[in-house]
Chains A and B, each alone.
Chain A
Amino acid sequence: MLQYWTAILSEAAIFGILALGIDMIWGWAGDFDLSAYAYFALGVYMTMVLTIGKPTSPVEYILGYHLPYLLAVGIAVVIVVAFASIIGAIALRSLREVYFSITTLGAVWAIYYLVENYTPLFNGYNGVYGLFDPMGGGLSYAAYHYFFFAFCLLALFLVYLVVQRLSRSPFGRMVRAVRDDERAASVYGRNVFWAKYRTYLFGAGLAGFAGGLFAAYIGAFNPLDWKPTEIFVLYAAILVGGRGNPRGVILGSFIVYVGFVEMTRYIPSPASRPELGPALRQILIGLLIILMLKFRPSGIFPERLGTDGTEPKRSLRTLFRRRPSGEESSEGLATADATGGAQA
């Protein structure tokens, strides 16, 4: 029983790290990136092909070294960031809002089809496998289990510290300003592209890091594990918890992952129709996203306002209080130039 929970919580922690990265790109910088899962997947794949050694036919994949796990994760992150630097340079240069999202949507599907069909890369449809207990040493199975769980929690905590700090720093402030009004930001000397680009790379790096952890968690990885539609679960988590708020994002990740996993346990999936359970889950995710967007777009923990510290501390009660109009975020409001560029 305990092992079951530590497994779920480990996974939730890993996705918490991924969500923190995606929230930087979306919550802070306002770019709705649909290709973030590709960075996550790349992190998994790279970590694996750097640790499981040479492929034996008919399996094929690139690289294939036997590096220590942590080193492999580090290299994987570097490679993911390099990849993101190319995509980001193209997509962020002149595309915004809807056009940016469409481009990233196309990108992730293109990458997906490429990886699925071009087997020399990562063994195509069948994927790669063979990463077992990378930091195991001499631990027993159960002990390793708890060790890895603690490792994931520690990783999440460290990432949280860094991200939280960055969020409240001048950098974090500046990225939000760029998000809210690019022209005004450039009038005050901020390089809009550079701000979004740095945020993008940092977020992609976190996604790659989460991928590295996930590689150790799951041991095997194929295209079925990373259908691009999976990213909606993450966006649902961010929406629920509170976009632009690192604590909210972590909370949302745990709620959605643990909540949904638990819930689908109670929905029977008849043996003749194994796709029923997952399909129902996806439907619920879709509903969750729509309802959150419509009724509470700022989430449980809305993005923290940079005050001067003299505000009364927020208590649990204030969370559910209706906000006076001065505090209502402009979240839902349409603006004249919200559609991402000049239209006909």
Chain B
Amino acid sequence: MSIFWISIGMGLAVAAILALSAVAFTLEYAVSRVVNLAHGEVLTIGAYAAYVGETNFHLNLYMCAVVATIAGSLAGMGLNFFLIEQFRNQKALSTLIATLGASLILQNLLLIGFGGASVSYSFAQGNLLHVGPFLWTVLTIKVMISTLIVAAIIYVMIQRTRIGKALRAVSQNRDLARVSGIPARQVVMHTWALAGAVSGFAGFLYGETVGTITPSIGNGFLLLSITAAVGGGLGRPYATLGGALVLGLVMSIAGTYTSSAYQLVIAFGFLVVMLLIKPNGIFVRGKAQMVRA
């Protein structure tokens, strides 16, 4: 019985990082109507930035987090400026393919820069603690707390500030927003900066939790973020959050019965089932309206 709770506990921790990544992914979709297949690479860039900060500049844990966040933010803005905005008037599928190209480029640049072997952070994990029925390390607890803080920040930004309102307007109808006086391009850029920052931070958390990183960790993140976002509700932060939670739990529970290599397979199975039953997402109301003919 306790294994079940422990696995739920680990599931929550994994879900925390996944939630951040998925929410960033969904924000990118919300504001630009783009499925960003280079999303995983933004995370990886953040993770490596923190690594550089730690090994080359000997920064402490918190500074490395900041470095990762800034790196992610720059990466997100760069992607938007050089790619997404360039393809704004093209079909969604063309933009998708372009982000695939960007993913290829970024991943291999990292490969050239850092080599294919895994590198590791050397932050201490801390002791194990019992929190209720769950078993966590101090580091894991820090991860989850910081996730909650970031989620709260995002909530405040989107719901309460003017920027948040502008984001929602641009997300619904960009031209209408522009006509209403909203500087759409700026809002889009700010959103990508935010999404990139969150992604970079998530990459750092991942490196911290797992310990080692390689240039290709983005692939797994991308797939899981897509699954969580599409499964929960693409373009909607709260629905995506819910999707991440469900996915994290599903994978963790499944992970106690099979080896971790199959977790991605299970996640994919979950995605397919979701797309077939409720393509708009679990937490989105309304009939599925994918295809008419």
Q: Is the CB of A286 within 8 A of B223?
A: no
Flag whether A3 is at the interface (Cβ < 8 A).
no
Q: Is the interface of A mostly helix, strand, loop or mixed?
A: helix
CB distance from A156 to the nearest CB of B (A): 26
User: Given A282-B104, A289-B101, A294-B87, A98–B96 Cβ distance below 8 Å?
Assistant: yes
Near A by CB (< 8 A), chain B positions 250-289 give: 259, 261-262, 264-265, 267-269, 271-272, 275-276, 279-280, 284, 286, 288-289
Question: In the complex, are the beta carbons of A183 and B104 less than 8 A apart?
Answer: no
Q: List the B residue with the shortest CB-CB distance to A181.
A: B293
* Residues of B close to A285: CB separation below 8 A: 101, 104
CA of A113 to CA of B103, assembled, Å: 20
Verify A90–B276 contact, CB threshold 8 A.
Answer: yes
Contact with B along A266-298 (1 / 0, CB 8 A): 000000010110011011011111100110010
B287 to chain A, nearest CB (A): 9
For window 161-208 of A, CB contacts with B under 8 Å fall at: 182-183, 185-186, 192
Q: Which of A110, A275, A340 contacts B116 (CB 8 A)?
A: A275
A286 to B107, CA, bound (A): 10
0 or 1 for each of A109-126: is its CB under 8 Å from B? (1 = yes): 110011011000000000
Q: B91 contacts the other chain (Cβ, under 8 Å)?
A: yes
Q: Give the nearest-CB partner of B264 in chain A.
A: A113
Inter-subunit contact A101/B290 (CB<8 Å): no
B60 at the binding interface (Cβ < 8 Å): no
Q: Are A290 and B101 in contact (CB under 8 A)?
A: yes
Per the bound structure, the CA–CA distance linking A71 and B276 in Å amounts to: 37
A-B contact count (CB 8 A): 171
- List the A side residues contacting B87 at CB < 8 Å: 293-294
For the complex, is B226 an interface residue (Cβ under 8 Å from A)? yes
In the bound complex, residues from chain A placing their C-beta under 8 Å from that of B236 are 344
Residues of A within 8 A of B288 (CB): 94
A288-344 with Cβ < 8 A to chain B: 288-290, 293-294, 297, 331-335, 338-344
Q: Counting CB contacts under 8 A, is A99 at the interface? A: yes
B102 touches A339 (CB 8 A): no
CA distance A70 to B166 in the complex (A): 63
B227 within 8 Å of A (CB atoms): yes
Given A235-B97, A287-B101, check contact A334 B89 (CB 8 Å): yes
Assuming A109-B223, A287-B101, A342-B290, is B275 touching A95 (CB within 8 A)? yes
A145 at the interface (CB under 8 A from B): no
Give Cα A279–Cα B262 distance, bound, in whole angstroms.
28
- Cα(A116)–Cα(B286), bound, Å: 40
User: For the complex, is B98 an interface residue (Cβ under 8 Å from A)?
Assistant: yes
B290 touches A232 (CB 8 A): no
Which residues of B does A touch, CB under 8 Å?
A: 33, 35, 37, 83, 86-94, 96-98, 100-105, 107-109, 111-112, 115-116, 219, 223, 226-227, 230, 233-236, 259, 261-262, 264-265, 267-269, 271-272, 275-276, 279-280, 284, 286, 288-293
Q: Which positions in A face B, CB cutoff 8 Å?
A: 30, 32, 90, 93-99, 101-103, 105-107, 109-110, 113-114, 116-117, 182-183, 185-186, 192, 229, 232, 235, 273, 275-276, 279-280, 282-283, 285-290, 293-294, 297, 331-335, 338-344
